[in-house]
């Protein structure tokens, strides 16, 4: 999911390069068709609508799901907590249900590092650090981790959670808070100060 987005498109490229058949579920709200690997099949749908994942899973019959689709702006999550819950939590549940119904073997989930842990109690922050999100984005992403545990326990779905920190690189949108490395790099190249 989210395979036309910044991180997701690189995941798609890696799977295609490894010789896998890849299908992408993306609503293109922030992803771009220009990011999409031409070897991948696109199913354009919103994960909030259970029928979108259902149709895509029925057609693609995935063995593994790599879930990258999400809303990911901390400040926006505080202005629109319900929207973040609908996309990040309900959308993920819709995917888990489709995975359960269609016999998916493994579900790899892109969570969040800093936003899940909140204000660090110690550094470096390890996986043993307490999870105390301070915003609705972090809370929505971490909530899904509990559902993954349930689906593993109840249905045997193999799950992996990746708690990304500040990811950066090609195809990143340098606008907004998530692009902090790209923003700072651009400012440094332009000889401008970086303000935290």
Active site members: 137
89/76 Cα distance (integer angstroms): 16
> CA torsion sign, 178 to 180 to 183 to 185?
negative
Burial label, 141 (beta-carbon count in 10 A; 0-12, 13-18, 19+):
buried
Residue 118 main-chain phi, psi, to 5 deg:
75, -150
Candidates 62, 167, 148, 74; CA nearest to 115 is: 74
Angle at 6 between CA 78 and CA 87, to 5 degrees: 40
Residue carrying structure tokens 């915003």: 135
**Radius of gyration for the alpha carbons in the chain, expressed in angstroms and rounded:** 17
Question: How is residue 69 written in tokens?
Answer: 């689709």
Residue carrying structure tokens 């090609």: 170
């Amino acid at each position: 999911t989210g395979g036309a987005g910044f991180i997701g498109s690189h995941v798609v490229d890696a799977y295609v390069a490894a010789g896998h058949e890849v299908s992408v579920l993306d609503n293109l709200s922030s992803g771009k068709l220009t990011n999409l690997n031409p070897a991948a099949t696109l199913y354009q749908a919103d994960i909030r609508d259970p029928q979108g994942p259902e149709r895509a899973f029925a057609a693609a019959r995935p063995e593994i799901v790599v879930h990258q689709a999400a809303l990911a702006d901390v400040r926006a999550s505080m202005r629109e907590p319900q929207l973040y819950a609908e996309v990040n939590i309900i959308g993920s549940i819709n995917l888990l249900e489709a995975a359960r119904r269609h016999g998916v073997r493994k579900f790899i989930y892109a969570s969040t590092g800093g936003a899940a842990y909140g204000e660090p109690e110690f550094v470096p922050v390890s996986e043993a650090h307490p999870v105390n999100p301070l915003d609705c984005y972090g809370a929505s992403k971490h909530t899904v981790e509990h559902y993954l545990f349930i689906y593993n326990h109840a249905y045997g779905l193999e799950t992996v959670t990746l708690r990304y920190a500040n990811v950066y690189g090609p195809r990143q949108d340098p606008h907004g808070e998530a692009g902090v490395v790209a923003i700072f790099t651009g400012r440094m190249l332009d000889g401008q100060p970086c303000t935290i």
